[in-house]
Amino acid sequence: MKKGFVVVEGKIDKDLLEKQWKHKPRNVEIVEAGGRSSAISLARSILITKNAPIALVIDADTLNERKIEEQEQFIYEITKHNHADSMFKVFMPKPNLEQESPERRERLIEQINQFMQEQRS
């Protein structure tokens, strides 16, 4: 079974997900990167070196949908990899993971789980 990675900006994000993700698959590792740019860079590096599924969870830092779409498009452009396009997905809590309600974080975790399950097939 292929290992998957959830890359987050920092320790608080990692702690929030780990606390709420009750049934995290053993083959999924949550990795803190030390900031937004570092998270994007780390996700790209994992795609290139490990050819593994990546869920990048970074704060939108806005509620403006147009700005969020622009951010996502930029991230997808700079992280592209020949065979990995389908193995990479960006999740952007609005405005940030810490301010999301537990219910919205639970939905995010469900979306990440679904994405990781799709990568196994």
82 band by pLDDT with thresholds 50, 70 and 90: very low
Distance separating the N- and C-terminal Cα atoms of the chain: 10
Model confidence at 83: pLDDT above 90: no
Write down the domain spans for the chain. Answer: 4-120
Q: By mean pLDDT, which of 3-7, 52-56, 80-84, 107-111 is the weakest?
A: 80-84
1 band by pLDDT with thresholds 50, 70 and 90: low
Q: What is the pTM of this model?
A: 0.91
Structure-block tokens of residue 27 = 């083959």
**Cα separation, 96 vs 35, whole angstroms:** 13
Model confidence at 31: pLDDT above 70: yes
Residue 28 CB coordination number (10 Å): 16
* pLDDT computed for residue 59 by the predictor: 96
- Tell which CATH classification among 3.40.50, 2.60.40, 3.90.930, 1.10.10 matches the domain 4-120: 3.40.50
